[in-house]
Every structure is written in C-alpha cells, then in structure tokens.
C-alpha cells in the first residue's frame, strides 16, 4: 500500500470521527453560571440529606423557644410566635450560607476545580453558579420556616406581600454573605475547618441578637452588643416587613450592607479562584 493511500485513508478516518460543520459557540458568562448552578442543585438531588439541617433545625428551634420560653418572654406562646418566626427565618438562612465554603473546599480537594479551570468558559462562572445554586437552597429553607410557622399560628400583619418582601430581603443578605464564606473556602482547604469557622461566627451572632429575646429586657452591656450586631438589623427589617411596620432606613441598611459585602468579597473570591 502506498504512502498516499495510507494518508487518504487516515484523513477519511479523521473526518469520520471529528464532527462535521461549524463548532458550537462558546458558552457565555450567564449560561455558564446557570450550568454550574444546576450542578449545585444536582448535588441536592443525589444527596437529599443536604436539606436535613435547613429543614429540621428551624423546626426544632421554633418548637423549643416558642413552647418553652414563649410564655416567659412575651406572655403567651401565640404572641411570641409572631415575634420569633421572622428571626428564625433570618437565622436559618444565615447559618445555611456557611455550607458553601465547605462544599467548595471539598471540590478543590477532589480536583474538580482543576477540570473546571481547563474548560473554555468564563472562569468566575464556577463560583457564581455555586452561589446561585445555594440561593435555591436558601429559598427552600425560607419556605419551610414560613409554612411551619403558619401551621403553628403565625399570622403576620403585613400579609403575603410583607412575608414575601421579608423573605426576599433575607435572601439578598444571605447571597451577599455567601461570598465571604466562598472566599474562606478557597483559602482554607479543609472542609471541616471552614464549617467550624463559619458556625463559630454565625451562631454567636444569631444568639446574641434580637432573634429570641427582646433587647429591652437584656443587661446594658449585652444590649450594647445586640444593638450593633448586623444580625439584629437584618431581623429588625425582616420582622418589620412581615408586620407591615418596616421603615426605609431599616430596609436600606440591609441593602447597603448586602451591596458592600458583595462588592468586597465577590471580587476577592474570584481573584483567589483564578490563582489556585
């Protein structure tokens, strides 16, 4: 067989294997981010236990504080339920944000991000998609808290519009806070260490706030900390929206803090990811 014949047969074989036609266009930033967000949701589909914390913990805290401490704090469990449900909603979403850093550190340790970095996509879409996917988990957690509260007798005076506005505000703040834990997950490679740090920060902020107790009943030194606690400002705004009494200043503070967190930590996380 001549060299020319071999060359022709090899060329025919290549044409049979390689696709014929124009190469598909490169994925844009939005489509790539949505694709990685869908990947984050598939993790929940294959491991439903990831929703265990965001469903069970709010139920336990609501039952515990309402029926054990509600009468002592607010005079009746029914009155205390109106006070505590918005706070537990905010607390649930804030604590849930800490899991994104742990999940990212696991992906890094398994070499998954090495594959993503070799793909011809907008590189930050990996992080944006992860945060967007987690946002769906926050929404599921928020729906669970509100529905369980309604089943127990939670009746917000702000109506459905006020409840929806409060949930959206809490989701916005949670989305911005998730970028801080994303950066932490990229810096700290041990998933247990990341989760330990986030919980060590979030739980004290949650308990030393106005979620469960009325600040006026606290000692002066503790009330001073509660008044400057960012969780207190978030809960006050969410509670006000659900009750129909929120002011523009309360909501504006949360939106301003959310914008600041996103503008600071999102670029830092993307820069850190590009240097991995």
pLDDT in tens, 241-273: 999 999 999 999 999 999 999 999 999 998 888
**Rounded Cα distance, 146 and 228, in Å:** 27
Nearest to 96 by CA among 44, 46, 148, 45: 44
The string of pLDDT tens digits covering residues 8-50 is: 444 555 455 555 556 656 666 677 777 777 877 777 776 666 6
Q: Does 159 map to a domain?
A: yes
Domain carrying residue 105: 28-274
Residue 207 has phi, psi (to 5 degrees) of -75, -35
Number of structural domains (the chain) is 1
Residue 235, Cβ neighbours under 10 Å: how many? 27
Please tell me the predicted confidence (pLDDT) of residue 177: 94
**Residue 6: pLDDT band with limits 50, 70, 90:** very low
**Rounded Cα distance, 81 and 153, in Å:** 7
Q: Does 5 map to a domain?
A: no
Q: Does 211 map to a domain?
A: yes
Q: Does 11 map to a domain?
A: no
Q: Does 145 map to a domain?
A: yes
Q: What is the CA radius of gyration of the chain?
A: 24
Q: Does 23 map to a domain?
A: no
Q: Does 1 map to a domain?
A: no
Please tell me the predicted confidence (pLDDT) of residue 219: 86
Q: Does 19 map to a domain?
A: no
Task: Say if residue 218's pLDDT is above 60.
Answer: yes
The string of pLDDT tens digits covering residues 50-87 is: 677 777 888 888 888 888 877 777 778 888 899 999 99
């Amino acid at each position: 067989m001549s060299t020319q014949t071999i060359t022709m047969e090899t060329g025919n074989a290549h044409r049979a294997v390689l696709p014929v036609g124009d190469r598909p266009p490169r994925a844009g930033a939005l489509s790539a981010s949505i694709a990685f967000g869908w990947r984050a949701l598939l993790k929940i589909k294959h491991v439903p236990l990831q929703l265990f914390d965001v469903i069970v913990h709010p139920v336990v805290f609501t039952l515990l504080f309402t029926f054990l401490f509600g009468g002592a704090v607010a005079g009746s469990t029914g009155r205390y339920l109106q006070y505590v449900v918005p706070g537990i909603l905010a607390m649930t979403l804030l604590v849930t944000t800490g899991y994104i850093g742990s999940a990212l550190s696991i992906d890094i340790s398994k070499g998954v991000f090495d594959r993503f970095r070799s793909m011809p996509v907008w590189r930050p879409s990996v992080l944006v998609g992860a945060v967007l996917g987690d946002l769906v988990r926050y929404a599921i957690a928020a729906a669970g808290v509100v529905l369980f509260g309604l089943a127990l007798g939670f009746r917000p005076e702000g109506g459905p519009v006020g409840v929806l506005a409060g949930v959206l505000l809490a989701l916005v703040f949670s989305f911005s806070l998730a970028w801080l834990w994303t950066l932490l997950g990229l810096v700290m490679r041990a998933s247990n260490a990341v989760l330990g740090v986030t919980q060590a920060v979030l739980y004290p902020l949650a308990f030393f706030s106005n979620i469960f107790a009325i600040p006026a009943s606290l000692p002066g030194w503790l009330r001073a900390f509660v008044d400057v606690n960012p969780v207190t400002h978030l809960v006050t705004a969410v509670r006000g929206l659900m009750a129909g009494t929120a002011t523009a200043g309360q909501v504006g503070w949360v939106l301003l803090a959310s914008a600041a967190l996103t503008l600071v930590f999102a670029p830092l996380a993307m820069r850190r990811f590009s240097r991995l």
